[in-house]
Structure 1
Amino acid sequence: MRAVSGDPSAAPLSCDRPVVVEATGQDDYEPLQPDVILAFHELCLVRDGGEWFMGQLDGDGSVICWASYGSDLAEAIRGL
């Protein structure tokens, strides 16, 4: 993860935090049930159902995602 991203501070986070994704065309968020959360400074990659979502770590520890980056972790990291 660190080698692919080039971020020496990249680290896994616990999944016991609220994680949501913005719903396209709506004012609401949809909750995710991640099994993996990877932090790259304030950006995060969240895996839910085999799909990686890009998001941002909020000040309260929650994660707000805005887009799916597909199922390939290396490709999702390159999208950072």
Structure 2
Amino acid sequence: MRALSGDPSAVSLSFDRLVVLETAGQGDYEPLRPDAILTFHELCLVRDDGEWFMGQLDDDGSVICWASYGLDLAEAIRGL
């Protein structure tokens, strides 16, 4: 993960936080149930049901995702 992203500070986060997906153009949020949360500074990749979502880590520890980056972790990391 660190080698592929080029970010030596990349880490896995615990699941004890709110993680949501912002619905396009509606200002609503759909809760996600992640089985992996990876953080690269403020950006995060969240896996829910095998799909990777891009998001941002907020000051309160929650993660707001805005888009799916597919099923392949390597491709999602390249999309950072």
Q: TM-score normalised by the shorter chain: which range applies? A: over 0.9
Partner residue in 2 for 1:68: 68
Q: Distance in 2 between matches of 1:67 and 1:15?
A: 19
| Structure 2: gaps (5+ residues) | none
- Deviation, structure 1 residue 27: 1.8
**Higher mean displacement: 20-29 or 68-77:** 20-29
- Deviation, structure 1 residue 25: 3.0
TM-score, structure 1 length as denominator? 0.98
Q: Distance in 2 between matches of 1:50 and 1:34?
A: 9
Partner residue in 2 for 1:16: 16
- Deviation, structure 1 residue 26: 1.4
1:10-56 deviation per Cα after TM superposition (whole angstroms, max 9, x unaligned): 00000110000111231211000000000000000000000000000
The CA RMSD measured in Å over matched residues stands at 0.6
Superposed, which structure 2 residues align to 1:54-65 within 5 Å? 54-65=54-65
Q: Distance in 1 between matches of 2:8 and 2:75?
A: 18
TM-score, structure 2 length as denominator? 0.98
Q: Distance in 2 between matches of 1:28 and 1:17?
A: 18
Partner residue in 2 for 1:31: 31
Counterpart of 2:25 in structure 1: which amino acid? G
- Between Structure 1 and Structure 2, how many residues are aligned? 80
Identity of matched residues, %: 81
